[in-house]
Structure 1
Amino acid sequence: MEALIFIVRTLLQVLLVTVFLLRVLLPLARADSRNQLSQAVIRLTNPLVMPLRRIVPPIGKVDTASIVALILVQMAATATLWLLGAYPRIFSVSLFLQIVVLSLIGTILLFYTYALFLYIILSWIAPGTPSPAASLLHSLCEPLLRPVRRLIPPLAGIDFSALFVIIGLQALYIAIS
């Protein structure tokens, strides 16, 4: 049963929730919406986001329909895992909402950790090479790295900002786990 829970959690959290998380993060990071990967995220999430836009209007430049869709998908993932026995047998709304929020925060922290790892690896093996993935990673990671670079400049030409951000993200993940 634990193997089934692992597979379902991985598919729901890593694939489904992360796609909706990207739907929220890409506009906030001002990523190019014409990028092929951005277009794929938009196409995959439109069936849920577009009907929600009729009900939930945007607040300024924030796409609230995408945020509501992300929360709904996270709630559905948590409910599915609860039914499979991944969480305590006794159901309470407050515990359910707490798990939803902590799972979503954990997904965000892990997403950025992995994105930073990919960003670092791409900077080593293909620096300056234009690609859709590199462009999106740059848009998503630079807002996190910029403030740290102001505090900790490169040492001997090596930029350690990503290392410090990853350590901070992992510390936060451990704190909420």
Structure 2
Amino acid sequence: MRLPVYTAALTGLLATPAAAADLEFSLEIPRLTVAEYHRPYVSVWVETPDKTAVKTLAVWYDVKLKNQEGQKWLKDMRQWWRRAGRDMTLPADGVSAATRAPGKHQVVFKAGASPLGALPAGQYNLVVEAAREVGGVEVLRAPFQWPPKTKASSSADGETELGALAVTVRP
């Protein structure tokens, strides 16, 4: 009698669609020669072509300040804050992280564990916004198609607070 149960369970596993895909991005935070340097707060999110926020993927800020003081500066990332940030409960598990030092940073969302798994098929932008105390604000957008049919890449170059942004999607 157990055979039909195991067969049904196995059939359910095999029937799962293989629609999982990878998304990775690399982001350069430039080393600035300024009198007073503070690491930038950075938000990364997905938006539709009409700039509607769909999903926040990362928020890098000073998570270790007592009484969650770092959160009060998140609103300096104005575009993200107005579209998605003010409605979030922070710190958010898997989203919130510490600020990053100058250099190149790579983030990979692997197939099966991707936060974009339930994202409807369509054209999107990966958006990165950085704001730095005693500094400026900069926003970069790199388009991508979801789910990807083939490996595809796009990029954007920052001018002040951010360096190069590269986005790659793979089926």
Alignment TM-score > 0.5, same fold: no
Q: Name the structure with the higher strand share.
A: 2
Larger Cα Rg: Structure 1 or Structure 2? 2
Q: Which has the higher helix share?
A: 1
